[in-house]
A and B are shown apart, each in its own frame.
Chain A
Amino acid sequence: EPEVTQTPSHQVTQMGQEVILRCVPISNHLYFYWYRQILGQKVEFLVSFYNNEISEKSEIFDDQFSVERPDGSNFTLKIRSTKLEDSAMYFCASSRTSYEQYFGPGTRLTVT
């Protein structure tokens, strides 16, 4: 069964450094998403991406964040200058329609 994959599973970085989180969505899916879950808190929507552009973004998704689909298979989330409060689990998801999303296993980002 096709799955969404994410790499790395755990990323440790120093404050102020740039990180890129990678996702490989399911191959025939058209919509792509990033979510984050700070430890002990809710899963929060960050951004959705369709037709090579951002379709929706939340207040969390500020200028420090960017997304890209560089090669037709990967979907990346970049954080330009990480802050301590960016430490969280980041989930990628993809869907064929705008309804049912398939989630990856997540990347745990730890900012020190």
Chain B
Amino acid sequence: AQSVTQLDSHVSVSEGTPVLLRCNYSSSYSPSLFWYVQHPNKGLQLLLKYTSAATLVKGINGFEAEFKKSETSFHLTKPSAHMSDAAEYFCVVSDRSGGSYIPTFGRGTSLIVHP
């Protein structure tokens, strides 16, 4: 069984300051982990993914995430927030339970960026 917990429903930062969106997961198998972003009235866009290669994963728009197996975490970070980063972010875990890759979504974290 797999699950994912996004620890914050809302994160508020000022433009130019670092972003940290937290995600913890549980998985019985070696998981694949993803971060998706959803802007208003848009679909879910893949930011980055971890699939058992390098533990530090770089994604689009300056985001990165580090897979820490000992902490079962996959937190999303960005050194400097931009106004356009304001959106909903979803952490997703997918393992090969039962031979398939059905993903489980976290509840989402709303990132608010203040000027």
Contact = CB atoms under 8 A, between A and B. Distances in A.
Interface of A: 3-4, 6, 9, 41-45, 48, 55-56, 58, 91, 93, 98-106
A91 B90 CA distance: 14
A58 B43 contact: no
Contacts of B101: 98-99
20 contacts: A3-B43, A4-B43, A6-B43, A9-B41, A42-B105, A43-B90, A43-B108, A45-B102, A45-B103, A45-B104, A48-B100, A48-B102, A55-B100, A91-B43, A98-B100, A98-B101, A99-B101, A101-B46, A104-B43, A105-B42
Nearest to B106: A42
Interface of B: 32, 34, 36, 41-46, 49, 51, 90, 94, 100-108
A43 B105 contact: yes
Contacts of B32: 99
Given A43-B90, A56-B100, A105-B41, A100 B46 contact: yes
Contacts of A3: 43
B44 A91 contact: yes
Nearest to B6: A42
A55 B99 CA distance: 11
Contacts of A9: 41
B95 to A, nearest CB: 12
Nearest to B32: A99
Contacts of A101: 46, 103
A93 B41 CA distance: 16
Contacts of B106: 42
